[in-house]
Amino acid sequence: MTYLAELFGQVFGSLLRNKLRSFLTMAGIAWGIASVVIIVAMGDGFKEGQKRQMKSLGENIVILFGGRTEKQAGGQRAGRRIRLEYSDVEAIRSECWMVDYVVGEIESNNRATSPFNSGSFDTDGVEPNFAKLRTVPVVEGRWLSDDDNRDGRSVAVIGPKVKKQLFGGRTDVLGQEIAINSLPFQVIGILADKDQNSSYGGLDESKIFIPYNTAVRDIPPKEAYYFAGLLDDIIYKPHSLDQFEAARKQVIGVLARRHQFDPADESALGIWDTVDDARQVDALFQSMTVFLATIALVTLSLGGVGVMNIMLVTVSERTREVGLRKALGATRHRIMMDFLVEGAVLAFISGAIGWMAAFGLSTALAQVKMPDVFPGLPVSVPTTILTFSALAIIAIASALFPAWRAASLTPVEALRYER
């Protein structure tokens, strides 16, 4: 304890004797540490924001659309249109054991009216499991049930913009009746308002969702080529991310056999792979974070050069002291450790100040409502460990040479030294 008290006394005494020099050196280290922490936290924040944005559509899902073939297969010509059908959904359910959930979806635009107003909205016919794939949180009432779909009930779940258009600011919307293409539907649920930056058929907040069987029976799409069972898209989710590629191969294999196209024909199906999109975005932000963190580490290294400079000056100022201590029996190891620890303490005090500044900024932003695309600056444990590991290397490297130089002085040479 006496040794540590003496050592810290020397460190702080040296800092106080040269306040401006010490302040500039510590500012360089603190700024470097704060830069590293903030830049890495920014990358983590943007990645978290992107994940939230992707979750607004659906997590780890694949959306399939019909395409047009480019290759000949099964005796069929190239350029043939592939149209997805509900029987494809049933085939995937029965044959693709790596798929957790799969649903079909049909879309049409229809006129909807209430006792108070009217408007034109996209109407989606979906199965109840749609809510297990897509993010459609219900803030009032309930989502569509298996009984609703099996019995073809005339019920609807509406988005918040549909509610506002048809009912204004009224709060007693549940149980009210709306007419879709003049057919009566009861409102059983209202979706929560959400930020959604991607869609494949319009934003959910402006849609009306009804049971799939009801849509096929009462409100089929108006396209001339439509037939019962035709789908606009198929959505599926694998059991796990480890099986993601294998599940995709299974699904495409089933559809290729049923529609007689080459599984390697990339144009036969339109595929929106949210997992692949998320991986690409993560890789982009990771590369950006590494690049910016490298620049911050260079700044931190320059701060380390400042520590080396101040330690060299300290060695020069205390040369006669070193000679006296060696003459009184201090070992080379003890002299070297004194200066090495002094430089490390200087660097770590500066680093701690920089980390606290970055953490304080992170905490302050956490109290402010931030957009989903950038939820804040999360300072994680791995970021802290990485930052202080880099600081430890730089601190030791910057203090090692001055400490070695001090320890290498002979007593006679040191005592004869004059500044």
**Is the pLDDT score of 209 beyond 90?**
yes
pLDDT band at 398 (very low <50, low <70, confident <90, very high): confident
- For 108-128, write each residue's pLDDT tens digit: 999 999 999 999 999 999 999
How many beta carbons lie within 10 A of that of residue 247, not counting itself?
23
- What's the CA gap between 69 and 265, in Å, rounded? 7
- Choose the weakest-confidence range: 139-143, 214-218, 399-403: 399-403
Q: Which residue from 263, 252, 250 is spatially nearest to 99, judged by alpha carbons?
A: 250
Q: What is the pLDDT of residue 33?
A: 81
**pLDDT at site 370:** 66
Higher pLDDT, 290 or 108: 108
When pLDDT is cut at 50, 70 and 90, the band that residue 374 belongs to is low
Distance CA 67, CA 265 (A): 10
**376-379 contacts at long range (C-beta below 8 A, 24 or more positions apart):** 376/45, 377/38, 377/41, 377/42, 377/44, 377/45, 378/41, 378/44, 378/45, 378/48, 379/37, 379/41
The neighbour count for residue 269, using CB atoms within 10 Å, is 22
pLDDT band of 27, cuts 50, 70, 90: confident
CA distance 415 to 81: 94
Q: Name the amino acid, one letter, at 328.
A: L
Q: Which residues, including other chains, have CB under 8 Å from residue 233's CB and lie 6 or more apart?
A: 63, 64, 65, 84, 104, 105, 200, 201
The pLDDT of residue 158 is above 60:
yes
Report DSSP letters for 9-36, one per residue: HHHHHHHHHTHHHHHHHHHHHHHHHHHH
| Residue of 191 and 398 predicted with greater confidence | 191
pLDDT band at 197 (very low <50, low <70, confident <90, very high): low
* DSSP line for 303-339: HHHHHHHHHHHHHHHTHHHHHHHHHTT--HHHHHHHH
- At CA 45, angle to CA 44 and CA 49, rounded to 5? 115
Q: What's the pLDDT band for 384 if we cut at 50, 70, 90?
A: confident
**51-60, 223-232, 259-268: range with lowest mean pLDDT:** 51-60
- In this prediction, residue 74 carries a pLDDT of 63
Question: What phi and psi, each to the nearest 5 degrees, are found at residue 100?
Answer: -80, -55
Above 90 in pLDDT, residue 46? no
Mean pLDDT of 404-409: 68
d(CA 267, CA 177): 43
Lowest mean pLDDT among 41-45, 74-78, 128-132: 74-78
- Torsions phi, psi of 191, nearest 5? -75, 150
Average pLDDT over residues 48-52: 71
User: Mean of the pLDDT values across residues 238-246?
Assistant: 85
pLDDT at res. 377: 77
Mean pLDDT along residues 202-231: 89
Token pair in block for residue 26: 């510590």
Cα 399 to Cα 348: distance, rounded to the nearest angstrom: 12
Q: pLDDT-based confidence at 163, cuts 50/70/90?
A: very high
Backbone torsions φ then ψ of 230, nearest 5 degrees: -70, 140
Confidence of residue 151 (pLDDT cuts 50, 70, 90): very high
What's the token pair of residue 362? 């992170």
Give the whole-angstrom CA distance, residue 336 versus residue 148.
Answer: 80
Return d(Cα 160, Cα 148) in angstroms, integer: 21
Residue 122, token pair as written in the block: 């996209």
pLDDT at 386: 77
pLDDT at residue 378, as a whole number: 79
- pLDDT tens-digit series, residues 339-372: 777 777 777 888 888 889 888 888 887 777 766 6
Whole-angstrom Cα distance, residue 67 to residue 75? 18
Looking at residue 4, its amino acid is L
What pTM was computed for the model?
0.68
Radius of gyration (Cα) for the chain, nearest Å?
A: 34
CB 221 within 8 A of CB 37: no
Give the pLDDT confidence score for residue 138 in this predicted structure.
93
- pLDDT for residue 7 is more than 70: no
